[in-house]
Structures are given as C-alpha cells and as structure tokens.
C-alpha cells in the first residue's frame, strides 16, 4: 500500500504552477477534514437540518454548513487563492490578499443522502484569477477555462478524483490519512448498458427525453436491441464516479416543473467540474446530447443547466432520439 504514489508526490511531479499545486493540496486537506465530520455524523451532532435555507432556497443541512466553513476557511487562508464561491453562499468571497486562483465548490453534494448514511461528496472547480480583488463577474468563466477540477467521494472508500487538464487520476484515502494513487488514467468506456435518471420526474420531461428513456426501458425488445440497467444515487458525485469507473450515462434534463429553471444542477460548481473530468476521461458532457457543457458561457454564479454526460456513444444515442 505505502509504495503507491501519494497525491503530494504526484503534485510534485506535475508540470503546473506551484500556486495551483498549493490550492490542490489545500482542497485535498479540507476534504480529509470534511470526511472526518461526515464519518462521525451523529456522534458529533452533525446530522439534521441547520435551520437555514441557502441562496437556492434549499434547506441546508448542518453538514452543508460545516463543509462549507471548512473549505472556505482553508481556501481563503491559502496565499494562492484570490476568492471563493460556493453553492451555499449567495455571492463570492474575495480573500484579503492577492492570489492567482479562484475556487468554486459544492461543499457537500447529495445532502439528501446525509441522514441515511449514503454517499456524499465535495466538488471543486479551479479557475485563474484576474488582477485585483475578484468580483462575481470574474468567476463567470466558461468551463474550458478551468485549470483543475476534482471531487472527493465519501463512500465505502474515500476517494479524490482529479484532473489538471491532462487525464484523470483517482486517489484513495489510506488509514494513515494519506491520499494514494489507486486509479491511474481513468477512462470512461464508450459504450454502456447503464443509465441514471430520476424516473419520478418522467411526466415532466420533454418528448425527446421520454423517447430516449422509453427506448432503453424496452431493452432487447425495443429499438436499442439490448437490455439496460438503471442506477440513481441522488448524489451527482457518486453517479459520476460510477460512470468514470464502469461507464454509463447520467441525465438531469430540463423539465416542465419550473419552466423558468433550465435544470436542477448548477453550472459553475457541478456541471463544469464534472464535465471537465468526464471529457478528460474520454466521455462526453453535454446539456442536451450535443452542446458541450464546457462551452456554455455562464451568466450567473448559481446558474442551472440540464446535464447529459457519460459514455460517448450513449450520449450520441441520447442526442439522436
């Protein structure tokens, strides 16, 4: 086990600015701290609602708040970070010093899983910072501008999956608290027989999404000519991890429930970092099967988008229905 390369050693060999490596080390350390609180749950009084709602009008869990505080404090104390933005904070928080990077995050993705001891995770996107104190507009860079994206998955194992724009690597947290490389060159298989969508929203979907799902549900007896399996963890971080490990598609399409909202998931700290990871692993990450998430020009910090990502040939099939 200990002969496996550590995240620290990996970052040491990376052809990237020292400031970026520092940011990634800080994020990785904060994820270890979040993991500790997540793992202890009720023992440290961390389960349940915080009593507040966030800017998305969603009830915050105590662990949302705790995780947000841990990441925000760690990143704002990092000399390389000029500012942060989070799902849990209305607007951006500049650091009280200059820095070369901006970090955006969903500190604890999958909050509804917290109290049932199901997987949750942290998602982080890193962008270059402009000169001077960053404003909200400075964070509105397209996903292609990301210099790094990662998630930590607090599951049966604790894993950190990282891209700095040249492939995707997975690290597992060892018993002695060290991230160690366990998954080199993660690749999404181009074909799959697995799909992930919240079926309870079926009646709200567009005709095209209805047709696609109808086709996969018909399995070998339908137009696709093969049987599909369905999975839905209700934490994007865990659903995307499954796709990186064994292929599949993850769909959270626009639906008719709230027509003014283009989807449920957030572009800046869910869609973009996951899209960079999926593309770097050879998959496709789109809004509708064709438009790359990474090419969407953000207009708002908490902007929502439809998401269709995963195995490339299956995303093409989704686009073609």
Binding stretches for ligand AFP (CB under 6 A): 58, 109-112, 198, 234-236, 239, 252, 264-265
- Tokens read off for 118: 């199901």
Does residue 318 sit in helix, strand or coil? helix
Give yes or no for a contact between 151 and 274, defined as CB atoms under 8 angstroms apart: yes
Least distance in Å: CB of 149 to ligand AFP? 15
The span from the CA of 162 to the CA of 25, in Å, is 12
Q: Which of 82, 277 has the CB closer to ligand AFP?
A: 277
**C-beta atoms surrounding 203 within 10 Å:** 9
270 annotated as a binding-site residue: yes
Query: Has 174 been labeled as part of a binding site?
Result: no
- Shortest approach of ligand AFP to residue 239 CB, angstroms? 6
Q: How far is the CB of 112 from ligand AFP (least distance, A)?
A: 4
Judge contact between 192 and 314, C-beta under 8 A.
Answer: yes
CB of 158 to ligand AFP, least distance (A): 17
For residue 53, the SS3 value is strand
User: Is 112 annotated for ligand binding?
Assistant: yes
Nearer to ligand AFP, 195 or 252 (CB): 252
Contact indicator for 233, 119 with CB cutoff of 8 Å: yes
Nearer to ligand AFP, 181 or 234 (CB): 234
Q: C-alpha 162: how far from its chain's center?
A: 11
Give min distance, CB of 117 to ligand AFP, in A: 14
Q: Which is nearer to ligand AFP, 108 or 160 (CB)?
A: 108
Contacts of 192 (CB under 8 A, 6+ apart): 247, 248, 249, 310, 311, 313, 314
As separate numbers, helices (DSSP H) first and strands (DSSP E) second, the chain gives 8, 17
Residues 251 and 151: their CA atoms lie apart, in Å, by 19
Choose between 196 and 312: whose C-beta lies nearer to ligand AFP. 196
Task: Give the residue closest to ligand AFP by C-beta.
Answer: 236
Binding residues for substrate, by number, are 109-112, 198, 264
Binding residues for Mg(2+), by number, are 87, 106, 108-109, 270
Binding residues, by number, are 87, 106, 108-112, 198, 264, 270
């Amino acid at each position: 086990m200990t002969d496996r390369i550590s995240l620290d050693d990996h970052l040491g060999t990376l052809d990237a600015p020292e400031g970026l490596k520092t940011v990634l080390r800080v994020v990785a350390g904060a994820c270890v701290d979040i993991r500790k609180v997540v793992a202890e749950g009720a023992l440290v009084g961390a389960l349940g609602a915080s009593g507040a709602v966030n800017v998305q009008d969603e009830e915050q869990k105590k662990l949302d708040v705790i995780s947000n505080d841990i990441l925000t404090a760690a990143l704002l104390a990092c000399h390389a970070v000029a500012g942060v933005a989070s799902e849990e904070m209305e607007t951006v928080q500049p650091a009280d010093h200059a820095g070369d990077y901006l970090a955006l995050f969903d500190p604890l993705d999958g909050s509804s899983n917290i109290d049932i001891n199901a997987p949750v995770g942290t998602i982080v996107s890193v962008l270059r910072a402009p000169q001077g104190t960053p404003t909200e507009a400075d964070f509105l860079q397209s996903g292609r501008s990301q210099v790094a994206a990662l998630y930590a998955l607090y599951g049966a194992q604790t894993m950190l999956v990282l891209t700095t724009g040249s492939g995707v690597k997975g690290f597992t947290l060892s018993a002695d608290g060290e991230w160690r490389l366990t998954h080199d060159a993660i690749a999404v298989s181009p074909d799959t027989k697995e799909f992930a969508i919240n079926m309870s929203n079926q009646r709200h979907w567009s005709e095209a999404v209805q047709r696609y799902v109808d086709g996969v549900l018909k399995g070998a007896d339908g137009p696709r000519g093969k049987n599909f399996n369905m999975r839905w963890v209700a934490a994007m971080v865990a659903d995307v991890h499954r796709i990186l490990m064994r292929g599949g598609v993850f769909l959270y399409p626009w639906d008719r429930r709230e027509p003014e909202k283009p989807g449920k998931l957030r572009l800046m700290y869910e869609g973009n970092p996951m899209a960079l990871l999926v593309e770097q692993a050879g998959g496709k990450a789109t809004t509708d099967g064709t438009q790359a998430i990474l090419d969407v020009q953000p207009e708002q910090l908490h902007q929502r988008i439809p998401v269709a990502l995963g195995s490339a040939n299956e995303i093409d099939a989704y686009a073609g229905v």
